[in-house]
Structure 1
Amino acid sequence: MKRFQPIPSQLFTVFTALFILLNISITYAQSSRGTVRGKVVTGKNQVASNVSIGLEGTNFGTTTNEIGEFSFRAPAGSYQIIISYVGVERVEVPVTIIAGQTVTVPQIAVNASMSQLSEVNIIASRANRFTARISTDAAKIPLAPLENSQSYSTVTSSLLKEQQVFNVEDALRNAPGIQKMWDATGRAGDGGGYFTLRGFVTQTRLRNGIAGLVTSGIDAVNIEKIEVIKGPSATLFGSTLTSFGGLVNRVTKKPYETFGLELGHTVGNYDLNRTTIDLNTPLGSNVAFRLNSAYNYEGSFQNYGKSRTFSAAPSLAIKANDKLSFLLEAEMFYGRNSAKPFFFFYDSPKAMGITKVSDLNIDYKNAYSNDNVSSYSRSLNYFAEAKYKFSEKLTSQTVFSSSNSFSNGASPYYYLVTDARAIDLTRDPITKISPLPDLPGEANYIYRNDQSTANSKLGAIEIQENINGDFNIGGMRHRFVVGLDFQRQNSNQIFFGNAYGVVPINDPNFDYSSFNKLLVDKTNAANPLTSANTYPYIYKTNTYSAYASDVINLTDRFIASVGLRVDRFENKGTFKLDGTPDAKPFGQTAFSPKFGLIYQPVKDALSLFANYQNGFQNPAPYTDANGQTVAPKIQNANQIEGGVKMALFNGKLNGTVSYYRINLTNVLRTLPGSGGQAIQVQDGTQNSKGFEAEVIANPIPSINIVAGFSYNDSKFTKADADVQGLRPNTAGSPYLGNFYVSYRLPESAVKGLGVGFGGNYASKNKIINSVSQGTFELPSYTVLNSNVFYDRAKYRFGLSVNNLTNKHYYTGYTTINPQRLRQVLLTATYKL
């Protein structure tokens, strides 16, 4: 396979020439333009977010951000700013735009509620429905994407609603560079689904910028948007919630000041039935309550398998006065789920003589166990936030988060074995079945197991204080955050496993449903929990952190950012099942810096950016050459990244193109010791580099496009001889692509009718990759999806077909996981 090479100098020359030409052409086209800025509030002086604004008789305009502010460029001249609503008197504000200058209009107040604001008449082709103008979490400072030197992708609720995506895991198919490897297991401590991002494993551990741990898949009923923040991000988010590849932050819906109600129901094949509610109601003049909830039942594309989930997310917003406000939220997920098939390798692919899935005889539609073998999971998260405005330039945010995960039950999985291994296992009375049939070839059997959890619990609390400021000092604008953070994790996770025999991998006459709850209960009763057959993860950790970050406008086009975190990690020790210590306590102090630069050749339209980002982790103790348990050194990942961000043609063409390189140090590796006994040292290194591109476009009023492409080259640069120079099996597919095109009929036709089409591509994925075990690849795949929708003020209908071509495809890392076949969904929603 051809190795990825650094970008040659000739290519840099071409890029430079293209950027110069682009800069000249855009600068010339916009040389006669000025900037309009302002803020929109409702009649109750609440910020009006996501409101469309335009200049009458033109195609120039934008939408307000999360704090009601707007900014856009337009040719010099005198205009009327127009905000128009269904059933509400429209607002007109005169403005004179001066070339090369910024005009700030007085605050615009509209006599409308937030529910009415959602029914904005389109008066200019300005709304790119799938973009988010500002993020308050990505940098813990309100910044537009072009002002943030770190690359990130945003998946909006508008896109999820149009595609009929019901969970966070599926929603991430719209973000470039991230790939699902495992569905959520439902086990406490495992978290939600597992993904790979820039060559490293990550999960959805953050909610509104702080800890929001989960056990099962995350229902999207309460999601306003999802942010995939790329690269090591420990400076602002710490080490316990992030990975070296980045993080996933889910931003939730918030209460507003008027009544609103949406009721929805979805049906689909595989017995899908889903009911949702989004209720918002004021409770007096300064209190608002909102409830988002969903009940979801679904069978499986396989012969067995089902899941029942319930989620509820109540929230209460209280405005004590003009300076002080409170937000109380809860997030509750409950699930009873059958395990989805995971195929591990008991014997290596090299020993089995296989290199790809087609060498196996897996029955794609066979679950290999009865669906009454299930696990119960529960995640309860509680949040409290207090905001105090000292002035328009200085605010305080105090946040408390409590996360509690619980699971109990069986989680079947299967080992792929050689025929010789299968015969050996049948000699064990526990695994013995009737004599194995004599079949030709290899890999004719699987070894059935489960790894259950026994009333496992993982608790976490986080207390965070952020002071945000926005000041001009020495002629330069400073937007900064100073924060303190405390996190505690208390784990009492108990894992245990049992074996359930060797069976043929594909025999139509075999009763695979015999692996059922009765057999599991009987086996568990015969094997009570002891220290010999359990795998406890019992520990307590405290993390104390302080951080600061400053975004400095050196000029109106040149922006620098600098940040630093000081982090004190204290591991209070790990313990065995009986409570006796298993490893001694230890503590570590880490420093995590970050730097960034942005230059805007075209103000508010084109940014050249570069960053240095740091991530770190506190690994578990290991055993050294002397047989002693050693406190580990901190692992550090340092990233350099550069690229281009754009919001061209009045926001119709948005995107990011970037190149990154991440170097990871202090990786644990194994060396041969004296007497053949292996020893461990912590001096390994790993490198991950790649290219990412994302485009979110609105070329004409009726079409919206989301597309992305990524390439990642990861390898161990100093590691065990077994994997030296090879790609980690956690890095996923080197090449990933995503796209989605949405077309809404023009206003003159059937208003609200539209269609969408999209898909995802992933190249081959080496889930086993070493000298001793050989190489095993999951095949590349292209999965296509389509939808039709009809969206009006009071109701909405949607029809979606996922996996349109009924593609057989697999995900996994070190495992083979069959994915869902074609599914048809029909949704009806009533809005009040």
Structure 2
Amino acid sequence: MSYIPLLSIIVLITSPYGSVAQERESHTGRIRGKVVTDDGHIAQSVTIKIKSLNKTTVTNSSGEFEFKNIPFGKYTIEAVMIGSNSASIMVELSADNPGPKVELQLEYSSQKLDEVVVHTGGNRFAKKESDDVAKLPLKNMENAQVYTVVSKELMKEQIVTDYNSAFKNVPGAGIAEVRNQGRTTSISRGFPTPQVVRNGVGSFTYTTIDPANLERIEVIKGPSATLFGSTISSFGGLFNRVTKKPYESFGGEVSYSAGSWDLNRLTADINSPINEEKTALIRMNTALHSERSFQDAGFNKSYLLAPSFLCKVNERLTLTLDAEISGSKGTSPMRLLPLAPTNASPVPIATSIKELNIPYNLSFANNTVAYTSQQYNIFAQMKYKISDHWTSQTIFSRTRSSSDGYVTQLRVRSATTVRQEVTLQEYPYYGTDIQQNFIGDFKIGKLRNRIVAGFDFYSLKANRNDAAVNMTDINMTVPGAPYNNFTAAKIVPMFATATFNNFTANKENTYSGYVSDVLNITDRIIATAGLRIDRYFNKGIFTPATGILSGDYNQTAYSPKFGLIYQAVKDKVSIFANYQNGFSNNSGTDFNGNTFKPSWANQAEGGVKLDFSKINATLSYYDIKVTNILIPDLINGNSFNVQDGTQLSRGFEGELIANPVAGLNIIAGYTYNFSKITNGSVATNGLRPTTAGSPKTANFWISYRIVKGDAQGLGIGFGGIYGSEYYQTNVNATAAAPAFKFAVPEYMVLDASIFYDRPRFRIGLKVDNLTNEKYWSYRFQSQNPTKITGNIVLKF
């Protein structure tokens, strides 16, 4: 009982009613507001002044500002930004209105504002606002879900020339796993997560992604099936590529990068209004890229065309149409399969890739043994403002991605030999996503509701035609003549007698309905609840040669979501908790012929978010439990499965984005993940899954640029990534084989840059992997040693 008076005081002080009462009594108030650009985007790092009181502040990452302890009276609030006309508004504070809210609009596009923020030294990388994360406009401080944003400004500063390098800025992502078709998979909360989401909807891009058209990358953490479904999200979350959109003024840039291993990269970004009214806009992004491997063989050549059109039909209706069309040719990323011990030879020849002593600079590839890929993505969106409270959003996305040609993997055969295994493949994917959302913002009584209700149809189809051949064993340290004979001319005749697989590998349709409501219970307490219903149809595998269809099944899944936020300091400190759910469909039947249910992932999470003008941070602890995993049926034989496997993934994530002084920007992240199969097969029970990545990871980037004087725009950057050791193979002893662990070693990679950024040009030099660290991906692909890249950008 002694705590009740204290709790009452705390509630009174932290509640809006308590603060209002105090302000009325002291004859002071506060002025809160938001600044937006003329194209409707938030305006970050804008200077806000009350000249008569000589008070100044800066808008935060949400474009918001606040003045406290302002005496009652009339004041002019002015928003000032270099290169833009100032905006002002008159405000009156009184006992009846001690906390007015205002909105100011700058005559400045968001694209041009980004350039201004670069030179004024604000918290440039703390842009968290998104319409995709919650499928409705929701500030980070109002969202009980954790997410990370990698902005185009950060990618420019780091001279990112390939998509995977951007993930150095994502806590826990680790070293990207590049698969046979060039597609990328990264880690999120202990689960492999593919890159198959674009602008918030499905985009099954199973080829290399060029970063030239990226506005930002949104990494949404935790099971996210309620709003996104299971096909495009993992139990750890999803990666959303947000592409560049047209804006209302003419502008753009042309960029050229050159560097180690014959890197040549030319990109262009050109934007223009089509008519005088600026109701029709066009933007074109394009890239030409070529480079070779640091190893003795290996290369990649690619192109990208990405036009985007926007038409404001009237005040209510806006249409958007864009496309990404790309193609590439190159050698496949090498995959290495270690040699496991046997009962006859129980001692492994090596327990890590370092122990194996394969020469780091040898590719075991040949530039004639290559593949080509092609990808297009068509995206169309119609937004219609039904009323002041409701908006309709209709989205159509159509994707085709394919890779045709040779992909190679290495298999360890003995302590001294390896074997190249080559697959000739034709493997196209076709994806269609049609989505209809109704987005509302209204009050029921005094309770504000922000709601999204939608329907989604997602279709995925893949055809497969491939065959594999094995080359002769070669010495891994002194390869000899067989190494030189690994060419397309030698390989082609071997496929004349190879057995090809030709079938429809995937044919899936998913019909979904979902609803999510963000409810302001008070000014500081926000609750979220959502539910998704998925009806999934798998048409099975069809083999034309036999006319047999197998493996077809249907499943229904329900995915709820709950969240709660308490803003201890309004719009600045949010304490949050959430429950989120994800699922994954399972094919097949058990011994009795019963079809399986989806596997479920349930997450409980809590933490705190901070958003001040100088610092933005998120700290969270999560606990994910996966149930209904398929494991071998030990009673009826391993050819059958039972559905009682479980897995845990829990851990801590921290992210910091800071701007302690003008010109100095800091990004830092740390993750600890504990993953364990708590009920699995004999071989894996009690072990960390091999696909969970490093238990501990860290990342940071610190940059400083001069923001005043003759040297304005001159800057330096320094950063790095760390990952602890983990296992690519991790199995217990069984009757068939002894226990075996094969490690991906710990790594620490450091980078540095120097740049000179002016309104009309930018020059930069980046050195990746300063210490020439040897490190590998999950598939044991050797990563680049020290690499130097120069970049020059002309802006207009």
Is TM more than 0.5 here? yes
Which residue of structure 1 aligns with residue 724 of structure 2? 763
Which residue of structure 1 aligns with residue 664 of structure 2? 703
Q: What is the aligned counterpart of 1:603 among 570, 589, 607?
A: 570
Pairing 1:653–2:644 present: no
Q: What is the aligned counterpart of 2:101 among 101, 104, 115?
A: 104
Pairing 1:793–2:759 present: yes
Pairing 1:578–2:545 present: yes
Which residue of structure 2 aligns with residue 47 of structure 1? 40
Paired letter, 1:269: S
Q: What is the aligned counterpart of 2:705 among 730, 733, 744?
A: 744
Paired letter, 1:658: S
Which residue of structure 2 aligns with residue 778 of structure 1? 744
Deviation at 1:101, TM superposition (A): 5.0
Which residue of structure 2 aligns with residue 565 of structure 1? 532
C-alpha distance in 2, partners of 1:592/1:729?
27
Does the 8 Å contact 1:51/1:120 carry over to 2? no
Secondary structure of 2:167's counterpart equals helix
Deviation at 1:678, TM superposition (A): 4.7
Paired letter, 1:230: K
C-alpha distance in 2, partners of 1:571/1:514?
43
Which residue of structure 2 aligns with residue 426 of structure 1? none
C-alpha distance in 2, partners of 1:582/1:702?
62
Does the 8 Å contact 1:347/1:417 carry over to 2? no
C-alpha distance in 2, partners of 1:607/1:245?
23
C-alpha distance in 2, partners of 1:517/1:98?
82
Deviation at 1:50, TM superposition (A): 3.9
C-alpha distance in 2, partners of 1:808/1:80?
56
Secondary structure of 2:204's counterpart equals coil
C-alpha distance in 1, partners of 2:338/2:656?
39
Deviations 1:401-438 (A, max 9, x none): 001111111111001123xxxxxxxxxxxxxxxxxxxx
Which residue of structure 1 aligns with residue 627 of structure 2? 665
Q: What is the aligned counterpart of 2:246 among 255, 258, 273?
A: 255
Deviation at 1:139, TM superposition (A): 0.8
Paired letter, 2:487: N
Does the 8 Å contact 1:458/1:493 carry over to 2? no
Q: Which runs of 5+ in 1 are unaligned?
A: 1-15, 419-442
Q: Which runs of 5+ in 2 are unaligned?
A: 1-6, 734-738
Deviation at 1:252, TM superposition (A): 1.0
Paired letter, 2:630: L
> Residues 366-515 of structure 1: matches in 2 within 5 Å?
366-418=362-414, 443-454=415-426, 456-507=427-478, 509-510=480-481, 512-515=483-486
Note closer, same or farther for the CA distance 1:775–1:583 as it changes in structure 2 (3 Å cut). Answer: same
Deviations 1:638-670 (A, max 9, x none): 00000111113xx21111111111111111111
Which residue of structure 2 aligns with residue 717 of structure 1? 678
Deviation at 1:167, TM superposition (A): 3.1
Q: What is the aligned counterpart of 2:259 among 264, 268, 272?
A: 268
Deviation at 1:180, TM superposition (A): 3.0
Note closer, same or farther for the CA distance 1:620–1:107 as it changes in structure 2 (3 Å cut). Answer: same
Does the 8 Å contact 2:632/2:638 carry over to 1? no
Which residue of structure 2 aligns with residue 425 of structure 1? none
Secondary structure of 2:491's counterpart equals helix
Does the 8 Å contact 1:571/1:585 carry over to 2? yes
Note closer, same or farther for the CA distance 1:744–1:730 as it changes in structure 2 (3 Å cut). Answer: same
Secondary structure of 2:212's counterpart equals coil
Deviation at 1:515, TM superposition (A): 1.2
Pairing 1:683–2:683 present: no
Q: What is the aligned counterpart of 2:135 among 119, 140, 148?
A: 140
Deviation at 1:348, TM superposition (A): 4.1
Secondary structure of 2:454's counterpart equals strand
Paired letter, 2:509: N
State the identity as a percent. Answer: 38
Deviation at 1:60, TM superposition (A): 1.3
Does the 8 Å contact 1:85/1:121 carry over to 2? no
C-alpha distance in 2, partners of 1:63/1:123?
16
C-alpha distance in 2, partners of 1:102/1:253?
37
C-alpha distance in 2, partners of 1:733/1:114?
38
Does the 8 Å contact 2:768/2:786 carry over to 1? yes
C-alpha distance in 1, partners of 2:483/2:548?
42
> Residues 340-359 of structure 1: matches in 2 within 5 Å?
340-348=333-341, 351-359=347-355
Paired letter, 2:130: S
Secondary structure of 1:226's counterpart equals strand
Secondary structure of 2:362's counterpart equals coil
C-alpha distance in 2, partners of 1:337/1:179?
24
Deviation at 1:254, TM superposition (A): 0.3
Deviation at 1:821, TM superposition (A): 1.0
Deviation at 1:23, TM superposition (A): 8.8
Paired letter, 2:776: Y
Moved more, 401-410 or 48-57: 48-57
C-alpha distance in 1, partners of 2:178/2:795?
32
Q: What is the aligned counterpart of 1:131 among 120, 126, 136?
A: 126
Deviation at 1:184, TM superposition (A): 4.2
How many residues were matched structurally? 761
Paired letter, 2:101: T
Does the 8 Å contact 1:37/1:102 carry over to 2? no
Pairing 1:315–2:308 present: yes
Alignment RMSD: 2.6
C-alpha distance in 2, partners of 1:758/1:202?
25
C-alpha distance in 1, partners of 2:602/2:315?
43
Pairing 1:554–2:521 present: yes
Deviations 1:27-62 (A, max 9, x none): 99x9987342245343xxx32444542223655121
Which residue of structure 2 aligns with residue 726 of structure 1? 687
Note closer, same or farther for the CA distance 1:49–1:520 as it changes in structure 2 (3 Å cut). Answer: farther
> Residues 523-542 of structure 1: matches in 2 within 5 Å?
523-527=494-498, 529-530=499-500, 534=501, 536-542=503-509
Deviation at 1:524, TM superposition (A): 1.7
Note closer, same or farther for the CA distance 1:480–1:501 as it changes in structure 2 (3 Å cut). Answer: same
Pairing 1:293–2:271 present: no
C-alpha distance in 2, partners of 1:89/1:688?
52
Does the 8 Å contact 2:164/2:176 carry over to 1? no
Note closer, same or farther for the CA distance 1:173–1:73 as it changes in structure 2 (3 Å cut). Answer: farther
Deviations 1:365-416 (A, max 9, x none): 1000212211111111101100001223211100000011111111110011
Does the 8 Å contact 1:417/1:447 carry over to 2? yes
Paired letter, 1:62: T
C-alpha distance in 1, partners of 2:93/2:179?
53
What's the TM-score once normalised by structure 1's chain length?
0.87
Does the 8 Å contact 1:342/1:414 carry over to 2? yes
Deviation at 1:451, TM superposition (A): 2.7
Paired letter, 1:646: L
Deviation at 1:536, TM superposition (A): 4.3
Paired letter, 2:78: I
Does the 8 Å contact 1:347/1:416 carry over to 2? no
